[in-house]
Chain A
């Protein structure tokens, strides 16, 4: 009789255990997920922090049409409707040639400047199988001033109209909410106005963003001129703005003390002063087109 009880007990215990473990067992069959390298994505919402470049590239096969617009300075008062009567504009196209390399062309109304740049992702922040604490990109841009020649006593060489910007973009997405970027910058101008003006200028940029909601971020950006001679004559750039994202568009609305929108000019030739209200309201509209669709 006692044995009968024991048998029944073992049977029910076994059934109970197998019953309780069954589904857990099935999930256990998957084992540990193999470690894969997960790259940080969307460190910034688009390819600009505000005016300056961000670590983001257009992905492979994607074309971004970037319309950047700055109104006049807001301290001009009623007569110019606080700057809204005036505008500076840049139209640009950016294309992802590969996952890592992006190229761009653009034209700014500021000094009628044509620009072109290449941006290459050297390191990508990742976790998992391969760990990389930061993302690092290299940026090189060239600028062509196409204004009518204004130095009658100087030879009008084509090369005199060119200037260059080289940057190392180092960024980290600290969390889903917070990203930061530091951007050492080297600027070279083939021709400068006065003999005392340096041809080579060093600067450093700081940029960051805080994600306020899923679709809205607050961005800030500061470029500090390190070359003393230039720092005497021009101001450091400070820009504050919001990125608003809808489907295929990103809208960036901001205030900045830089009128121009291309790197050489806003890094080394910013004249506006925040304290005097000599700042510009501006926006960038980024529209995304898929040119080549990767197979999924």
Chain B
């Protein structure tokens, strides 16, 4: 019986180690940028939810679409009403993993290259993506940064012909999350 208890305690400890350390933020930053002949469109969201598990490498995002701010109110209105239909699809999300998590030493401050792979869901479309970025390990926090592009067509965002010169089919995404140790 004693041996059994010992085994169970050991297993629980093992499980906790496997689940590992979590890093979380609710104030991450995502910017998107569209460069088109007639105008450039920029939007920034500073209320991005993101979490990272340092041992499994699991990395998730949840982004409230209505929290994207544009310089022109009309752009914001069109973004929500016409393009991402945020009343129907309030959140975008990403669920993936840092494929080279073992290369990152969370005990040793420094900047580490990383590859993140997973599924990005915007509106009703989910697509597998894989992009490079960096993790900067600091005391009690990790700063994740990446920059990549997505195609609007992949996520069922259609651009009417009248504004093809105003909106690029390719959108540049900049991500910066300051994840705090939990």
Contacts and interface: CB of A to CB of B under 8 A. Distances in A.
Interface of A: 3, 6-7, 10-11, 14-15, 18, 22-23, 25-27, 29-30, 33, 38, 41-42, 59-60, 62, 176, 214-215, 245-248, 288, 290, 293-294, 296
Interface of A, helix, strand, loop or mixed by DSSP? mixed
Contacts of A214: 81-82, 85
A18 B18 contact: yes
A59 B11 contact: no
A38, A42, A59, A288 — most chain B CB neighbours (10 Å): A42
Contacts of A3: 3-4
A33 B3 CA distance: 45
Interface in B29-51: 42-44, 49, 51
A62 B73 contact: yes
Interface of B, helix, strand, loop or mixed by DSSP? mixed
B49 A293 contact: no
Contact of B53 (A22, A30, A38, A290): A22
A14 B3 contact: no
B12 A41 contact: no
A246 B160 contact: yes
A18 B15 contact: yes
Contacts of B8: 10
Interface residues of B, number: 46
B82 A215 contact: yes
A29 B22 contact: yes
Contacts of B11: 7, 10-11, 14
The 10 nearest A-B residue pairs measured at CB: A59-B73, A30-B49, A214-B82, A26-B51, A246-B162, A296-B69, A247-B163, A293-B71, A26-B60, A14-B15
A176 B86 CA distance: 11
19 contacts: A3-B3, A10-B11, A11-B11, A15-B15, A15-B18, A22-B19, A22-B58, A25-B19, A26-B52, A26-B60, A27-B51, A27-B60, A27-B95, A29-B22, A41-B77, A62-B72, A214-B85, A215-B82, A290-B71
Given A176-B87, A296-B69, A23 B162 contact: no
A26 B160 contact: no
Interface string B62-87: 10101001111110011011100101
A11 B69 CA distance: 48
A42 B22 CA distance: 40
Contacts of A59: 73-74
A248 B39 CA distance: 11
